[in-house]
Structure formats: C-alpha cells, structure tokens
A and B are shown apart, each in its own frame.
Chain A
C-alpha cells in the first residue's frame, strides 16, 4: 500500500507536465483550459496520503534524482495544491474568452509542476530544475495579456528571476561542494552548517531565494509582476509561487547551527520589509499592487523570523512548522484576495457587500485579528521569532491592517447589476474558507499545541495595534486624507533609467573603440612590390647569372675552407 502511495510524488509533477504536453496538441488549447483544475489533484492526494520522509529514487533522472515529502513540505504542497486547484477552476471561467488558451494552459501546468516539484525534491539538482521551471516559466503568465505594462513587468521579472537563478545555482554548487559533493538536500544543508562551508554559499542562496520571495531590496519585481498577470495567475504567483522561495530557505538554511551574520542580515532585511512594504502598499493605486506589496510584507515577516532562528541556531523543528503554517494561511488568503479583485467588477449591489465582508475578514485575518486563523499562525511565529521579533510581529498588525484597508478602498468598482458566475465565486469562497479553517485544523498537528491554549484576554490585549489601525483608518476617512501615490516597484524606475543610460554609454564607447581599431594603416605593399619587381628583373639578366655563379662558386669554396 505504501509503495503505491509513494508513487503519488512523481505523479504529482508528471501529471501537470502531461497536461502541459496535451495543450500543445493543435486545437486542444480551450479544452486544456477547461481541465486546468485537474493539474494539482495528484499533488493534493500526495500531500494527504503519501508517506512522509520516504524518498522515492528516480534512477537515471538528472543526477540520479529523487523526490521526498517532508512534513513541512507536505503543508506547503497541500496548500499550494489547494490554491492551484481553485485558481484553476477560476481561470477556466475567467479566461474562457482568452485569445491564447493553449499558451496559458501550457505554462500554467508547467509552472504548476515546477512549483509542486520544489516542495518535494529530495536532491538539489531536482530542486534547482523545479525551481527554474517555476521561476522562469512564470514569465509567460506574467505577460499573458501582452499589454505594454505587462511586458515591462515581465522584463523586470525575467531579469531578476535569471539573476536569482544564477545566484542559486552558484550557491548550490558551493554548498554541494562544501558537503563533499553530496546532492541530497539534507546533506547539503548539513554541509552548509559546517565551518568548512564556502563563505559565499549561504549568502548566495539567501539572495537567490530572497529574490523569489521578495526580500526587501530585491523585491522590486514583485509589485510590478504580480499585478500584471491575469487574476488567477496573480493569485498563484503571490500565493504559491512566492512560497517556492520561502521553501528554498526552509530547505537550505542550516537551522540549528548559529550563523550570526547571515541570520542577522536576513532578520533586518525581513523585518524592514515587513513594515516598509506594507507602508508602500498604502501608497498604491491598484488593488493588485497593494496585495503584491502586502505579500512582500508578509514574506518579510517569514524571512525575518527565519533570520532570527538562523542567527540563534534554533532547531528546525521549532521553526519550520510555524513557517509552514504561516505560509499556508498566507497563500490561501492571498489567493482569495487576488481572486476577489477579479470578482469585484462582477459583484453588483448586494453581492458587493458580501464580497467586501469576506475580504475584510480575510484582511483582518492577515493582520492578526484575534480568533481568526491569521492570529493563530502569527502566534505560532512569535515563538521562534524571539522577544524583539514577537513585538515586531505584533506591531505589524498595524501596517498590515492599513494595507488591507487600502486594498478594500481601491478595489475595482462594480458594474451595476452583475452577478458573479458560480465557478468564480466558489473558488473564492473555498479559498477564503480554507484560509480561515485549515490553520485551526492543522495547528495542533503541526505545532503540537492546542490552538486554544492561550487565553482570550491576553490575545485581545495583544491586538492593540489593530485597534490603533482602525482608529487611524477611521480618522483618515473622516478628514479625507489621501495616501501618497507611489509608483509600482518603488526604486525600480530610477534604477532602470540609470541602467539604460549606462548601457547606451557603453555601447557608444564600444562602437567608437572598434571603429578606431579598424582604421587601417597606410598600405606599404605597393612600394615593396615595386622593389620586388626590380629585384626580379635583375635576376633575369644573364649578366647577373654569371656574377652570381662566380659568387656562389666562391662562397662554396670559401665555406669549405673554413
């Protein structure tokens, strides 16, 4: 029985690839779009039923790769599968009039395969393959609508994704070498903890995964790329794909051995992202941008906590379950929030109020409203976050709440008298429900504590930042205060302009240089040629022959006498 169930792991990644292949068949594009929800089903089954920590070897594949489902990985996998499933249902409706169904289905399924594969890879090579798949092939999803803004966003995305890939590749090489050439993820992580590990390995990995997960200064692609994609794709980008970066850190950070420098840097960057990104979110004009910044913020929280744990040398078991749970909640909630953006124009009148209510609950949950799932996962995160971290997490409720309020405020206006189609509403509600329910369900299993352990009063007491936020929002609304309008991708614009100017300058310099190299020297050949002609004329004379004859005869005699 178990033997059969381990096969769910390869099936989880092969099945979407098969679906992707089918999308290539001529004329099958629309059909495969309808079948998008089928993709993550084996993965869901695997997350539920496949045995944990039982590696499946895949002899001959890559460098004798393998798949393995860890307990943490299972939560990531399950959450991603749920999100992908409902987003798939949503996409099937949302994109039914789309002009490029085959392309969407193809890349959707490939990214899905990569995303799921990241969570179950047992060796670094497979991991890297899946990571590259999810990272680079998400590009077509970002630019799916081909609008100029999307294309620009796609370019930024691609540049950073490729940079991240290279950083990860080099980091993994260094790490694998440090681990004596091992390629198993466990062994490599153990190797990173050794004092002999290459000093650049860990930073490179953090940079690489950080780019994917939106670590603060490297996050610039995220607020431009996530909003550019079609709604269901944004949902998986922000909900699931970002988690690949988080999972990378989960898999490779050598928790349990103190790594002060890397840990502290990660902490600082993570927590500053937590606040800065949320504040930047407030300045955004588009609902999707707000959500994207919110994602940066929330992922900053996760990475901050991971940084603290890394610096302190906390055991993985004390950190990872909480991180997984947090990621699960954030993924599902953020997915639902994104789907809400797509639903908003379709919800007239009463539907609008219902939608807003669900979204508000989700927002509050993200902000850590007591009794909601978000508070639960945040409380789980406070343990490994240390004292300061816990305070910061508590404070973040304020900024998150502001961001969420902004989100609700800029939600697209509804067209009158529209009813949302069932197959778009259902995924939204299902994801929202899952986000609010699953953490409760899993809390005990994962953390080993009862979700209701802490008393209600203390939780409410900890919610004061949330109250402050409510007050601030009410005040702002009352006086008509408008947030500043900030561009998507904050620092990106100026950087891009500088880069363009530099490139142009370099091009011009190179061109000038090559031109000056090509400038030919005056040709002397003709002059030498005339001389050669004259010499040859001399040789042709009989007189010259006679003289040379005597000379050579003399030379031979003289040389023989030497």
Chain B
C-alpha cells in the first residue's frame, strides 16, 4: 500500500459507494475529506523518489504512478478543494429548486472527478492520461449539466473533440515510438514531422480542456450556470488536468524538440487569454459569469509561464511560479465560487448590482470573496502574489517585457472587475437581505480563501516542494536533493 494508489482507489471506492447509497451518500464526505487530506499530506511528505507500479507490470505496459512536486502540490490542493467544497455541499446541496434528484448525482460525480484528477496528476503514461482526462471530462460535463443542459452539451461536444485530438496525437506517438511513457519518450524523442504533429494535436486538444483562449468558449456558460459547488470544482480542478498534462508533454516528454517559437505560441495565447478574459470579465453584469471569465484570464497566466520556464537559466523560480499559480487559483477560485453562490442566494438577483447590502448582512462570506479576490489579483500576501512575483521576476530577468507587462496589466484588470463586484456588496441594500450563512456553509469558502492567503507566507516551502523531481533539475526519477 502506498498513498499513490490509495489516492486513486479511495475516491473510486467512494464513487461506487455513493452510487449504491443514493441519497445517503452525502455523509460519506465527512469520512473521505479528512482521509484524502491525510493521504495527500502523506504524499507531500514522501521521500522525493516515491513511485508506485500498479500491478507489478513492467514499464511499457504497466501503470507507473509517481509523485513529483507538481503532482504533490496539485493533489494536496485538490484534496483541500474537494474536501471543502464537499463539506459545503453537505449543508448547501447543489440543486435547483424542484430538482432534488440532482443532489444524488452530485456525489458520485465528485468522487469520479477526484479519482480522475488524482490519477491524472500522478501518472506519466500518455494513454492513461487520456483515460483520466475522459474521467474528468465526463464528471465535469455532468456537473455542468446540473446547471444548464445546453451549456453542458456544448462543453461536451467541444471537450470530446479535444479528447479525440489528443488521442490522435497519442496514436501518432505510439506509431512512431511504440511507447507512451513520458520518461521513455524524453530519451527517444526526435524532432520529426510525426512527433511534431502528434505534439501539435495533443497540445491543441489539451488546450481545449484547459480552456485557454481562444478555445475557452465552452467555459463561461458552463461554469457560470452550474450550481456553486459544481462551478467551484469545474473551475478549480477540471481545467487544471489539461494544464498538468501539457506540462508533462512540453517539459518532460519533449523538452528537446519544442523550439522557442512554439513556446512563444503558447505564451502568446496565454497573454492574450489574460487580457481577453479580463476584458470580458469587466463587461459582465452577472456575478458568476464574471468569476467564470476570471478563470479564462487566470488560465492564461499558466501558459504565459511556459516560455518563461523554458527560457530561464535557472528555471526553478518560474517553474514554482507556474505551479503555485495553478494551486493558488484552485484554492481562490473554489472559494470565490462558493462565496458567490452564497451571496447570490441571499441577493435579490444574480446581477452584480443586486449585491447591495451583503457586506453588512453576511460579512464573513464577503470576506471570503474578498480574500479570494486578493489572491486572484495577485496582491500580497497571497499565493497568487507569490506566483506572480516569481513569474514577473523571471520575465524581467529574461527581458520578456511583453509578458511582464501582461502580468502587471492582468493584475490591474483583475482588480478592476473584482473590486467592482466587492464594492457592489458595500452599496446599501434596496431590500432587506436574509443572509445565508453559518457553519460549514461559510467556513468552507473562508477556509479556502484563507489558505490562498496563507500560501503567501509559506513561499519558500512551496517553492521547494514544487521543485521535487522537476524535469529541469535532472533526468526524471533520478531525483536531486531537495534545495537547501
């Protein structure tokens, strides 16, 4: 037994149990959340070279699970996010009025998402990654369908397209190298047309999953319409898997054949996403749509980091910045969606202008929203700041002033739209508000947002964690000493 396989097995078991138990499955989260959090923590504290071979098959056929820094951080964050969201959903079931059955379908999907995400973070096998990608997509589409069927369907179609593009790429890789293991590919890869086409197809497909501009079209309707806990999971976790697989592809499998120009394509799209997402977010008058577009912008930072990581002499800082941006966004965005859900429940309507009086009626929830906003804007002290700080430092050191400018401008634009929403909470109420607060409801977003802030204080530890078994530090699985 090892935490690596337990982290996948436990959620799968929970999913099965939830399917069987039906309505009674809600309580399961009380067990699963601490258990998974403990496992994730265990994983984080494992020695650097931890790996696990499922079913004792040798490498080309067996399933290797291994935990590098990125995986550890992402899994820990996933456990925290799903745990908190789950506890929140326990008292605030994600259902539309009159759709009581929805709450039943919610729980198995959560566990499916959890298992898929964890497996995806841990595995380095391109085909297994495809499977996990589909697990996550399936769960995500179903979660989105809890809000708007039409949006979910659109999401489904586009996501399916992405999956197939990825699969086609995998097929080409198999044809060319007869292996799908990332570590083996790193040694074999050659910059021929087949490999490049495979890389291009996989990248494009994954960008759909990661909702990078201009392939983000499915995200805002789906995320904005879903019930708050579902939105939180979608924005926090579902899009991150695509990102992590891209990291595996570009920095672990094919670092030798990805030229600077190709990296600039991703970086450029990332920069465009930051600006475009921010501008669109500024234009929204509904709170959840705003938060959803904020995700579009935040995803941009992740890809903006690609050329910075590749271009750095010592990529540790940029790498950590990229990873921490993903983690900080997970925590903050989940917190923000949960808080927004509570706020909209108390407000007169779903528009930002309807939020008046909430700062007075439910200060803690608004605080959670505000703290999450601080992290998303990249204001200190917060995980978002630490990440942006590292990226900005890298950008300036490399003379990448365009990216530096986008990083700065993106933060400002985020401030514009997020503070706009916050300010609306301070406006006087047009009608008396009945606050939706208390207990886990409010505690969950507050805890997540608090964690996003606390991340700002533990920068050194997080940077060291992110560097475990990082591809730039040496050959994979032959692991360096942790940084002093």
Contacts and interface: CB of A to CB of B under 8 A. Distances in A.
Contacts of A317: none
B205 interface: yes
B265 to A, nearest CB: 5
B217 to A, nearest CB: 3
A492 interface: no
B427 interface: no
Interface stretch (A146-154, A187-195, A552-560): A552-560
A545 B283 contact: no
B456 interface: no
B203 A553 contact: yes
A549 B162 contact: yes
Contact of A542 (B158, B191, B261, B283): B158
A559 B262 contact: yes
Contacts of A517: none
B204 interface: yes
Given A553-B203, A556-B204, A545 B262 contact: no
Contacts of A555: 200, 265
Contacts of B220: 536
Interface in A532-555: 532, 536, 538-542, 544-546, 548-550, 552-555
A559 B221 contact: no
Interface of A is mostly: helix
Q: Considering residues A541, A559, A560, which has the most beta carbons from chain B within 10 angstroms of its beta carbon? A: A560
B158 to A, nearest CB: 4
A529 interface: yes
Nearest to A552: B204
Contact of B204 (A532, A549, A559, A562): A549
Contacts of B221: 540
Given A540-B154, A556-B200, A560-B258, A549 B215 contact: yes
A541 B217 contact: yes
B37 to A, nearest CB: 36
Nearest to B162: A549
Contact of B196 (A532, A541, A556): A556
A561 B199 CA distance: 12
B192 to A, nearest CB: 10
Given A542-B157, A559-B262, A562-B259, A536 B217 contact: yes
A559 B259 contact: yes
B218 interface: yes
A534 to B, nearest CB: 12
Given A539-B216, A554-B200, A560-B259, A549 B205 contact: yes
B207 interface: yes
B197 interface: yes
Given A560-B261, A561-B196, A529 B204 contact: no
Nearest to B165: A549
Nearest to A525: B283
Contacts of A561: 196, 259
Given A532-B283, A549-B165, A557 B196 contact: yes
B27 interface: no
Interface string B301-335: 00000000000000000000000000000000000
B197 A553 contact: yes
Interface in B185-209: 191, 193, 196-197, 199-201, 203-205, 207-208
B217 A559 contact: no
Contacts of B216: 539
A540 B261 contact: no
A556 B217 contact: no
Interface of B: 154, 157-158, 161-162, 165, 191, 193, 196-197, 199-201, 203-205, 207-208, 214-218, 220-221, 257-259, 261-262, 264-266, 269, 279-280, 283
10 contacts: A541-B217, A544-B214, A545-B161, A545-B215, A548-B215, A552-B204, A552-B265, A553-B201, A556-B265, A559-B264
Interface of A: 529, 532, 536, 538-542, 544-546, 548-550, 552-557, 559-562
Given A544-B217, A546-B161, A560-B196, 11 more contacts: A539-B215, A540-B221, A542-B161, A544-B214, A545-B215, A548-B215, A549-B161, A549-B205, A552-B200, A555-B200, A559-B264
